Amino acid sequence: MIERHRYILDFTLASLLRRKGKNSALLVVYILVVFVAASVLFFTHALQYEASLLLEDAPDIVVQNTLTGRQHPVPVKWRRSIGEIRGVASVAPRLWGYQYDKAFAANYTLLVPVKDEPPSGSIDIGSAISRTRNAYPGDIISLPGSDGRPHAFTIRQTLSSESQLLTGDLMVLSEKDFRELSGIPKDQATDLVLRVPNAREQRTVAAKITRLYPEARPILREEMRRTYDAVYGWRSSLLLVVFSGAGLAFFIFAWDKATGISAEERKEIGILKAIGWETSDILLMKFWEGIVISLCSFLAGSILAYFHVFASSSALFLPVLKGWSTLYPTFRLQPSIDYWQLAVLFFLTVIPYTIATIIPFWRAATIDPDVAMR
């Protein structure tokens, strides 16, 4: 049985090589379609994975202050009244903001940690900033302040994390340095972070905060997660729609090639039947032909997409899929693949083409060899 398959596979490969020009063109287009679809799936899932890591340590509720609908620093005195709401375990003011670097066209995130903040005059930077600015522990880094003067900091360490998205653009500094740099007064903070252990009470706590301070905007961690999923899902869908026209054209081309039999192929079937091949042998040959072309295309397209996304940071789709992150320092995504999505892509690209290859040849293989050769 195995020998039979091996001989037929050898004959199939030789048959494909005899029409290498035609099959090579099909293979290139097939690989391109799989490459585009797999790149979008890999990149979107990798970003969602990074976002999930980002939200693992996120507070249960973030309370922002708004002024005419825009975010505004929150008064630190809100901390006492919000902390008295039943179900709130802790409330802490948080200081963070953004810093645009004109020299490298990158946007950095400044953050004051809740504990273990670096000493005044020192700063911890993310690995992406270190690579971009070629700056390492012990070097001096200068940031422009809100007063227009440069503020110099000594790099204490380079941050490392499983998620590049989490720490790649991060700068950690002390509260004193942050306030001097940003100009935020001592009685204000960027937002308040709350810990509410009972998840069923979080919406009730958020409603009580809104009643207490109508200008407050509480954001639950679950809402942040849904926002990330919606944004990345929308961007990937947009890209897939853009390329769907090219994909549809390919499938029409592949279907036409698979279901149409040329005179040369019909004659070949007639000769094979005349020398003793059974109908099952011919169908097996066409099965292997479809498998070889579609499986090679799937594997090549998926491997190229893997290196495109995780080795070259998805250079082709970066502006569309990252959006605001075009200002983000260059970083590499952690390899993370959804095998269910990969399995769906396999069944959508390999199975239809293989079946479409077999059906027309089954019709041709059932007719008389003399008729087929004519």
Three-state DSSP at 61 gives strand
Residue type, 75: P
Q: Is the pLDDT of residue 242 over 90?
A: no
Average pLDDT of 144-163?
Answer: 82
Tell me 162's DSSP state.
Answer: S
Q: How far separated are the first and last CA of the chain, in Å rounded?
A: 32
The domain segmentation of the chain, as residue ranges, is: 1-55+227-373, 62-195
Share of the chain above pLDDT 70, in %: 81
Assign 162 a pLDDT band (cuts: 50, 70, 90): low
Average pLDDT of 68-75?
Answer: 88
* CATH of span 62-195: 2.40.40.20
Nearest to 348 by CA among 356, 337, 336: 356
The pLDDT, as a whole number, for residue 70 is: 85
Average pLDDT of 328-353?
Answer: 77
Higher pLDDT: 92 or 11? It is 92
Spatial separation of the C-alpha atoms in residues 63 and 85, rounded to whole Å = 14
Please provide the DSSP assignment of 102-157 as one string.
TTTTEEEEEEE-SSSPPPTTEEEEEHHHHHHHT--TT-EEEEE-TTS-EEEEEEEE
Assign 89 a pLDDT band (cuts: 50, 70, 90): very high
CA 346 to chain centre: 19
Residue located via tokens 């360490």: 157
pTM of the predicted protein model = 0.65
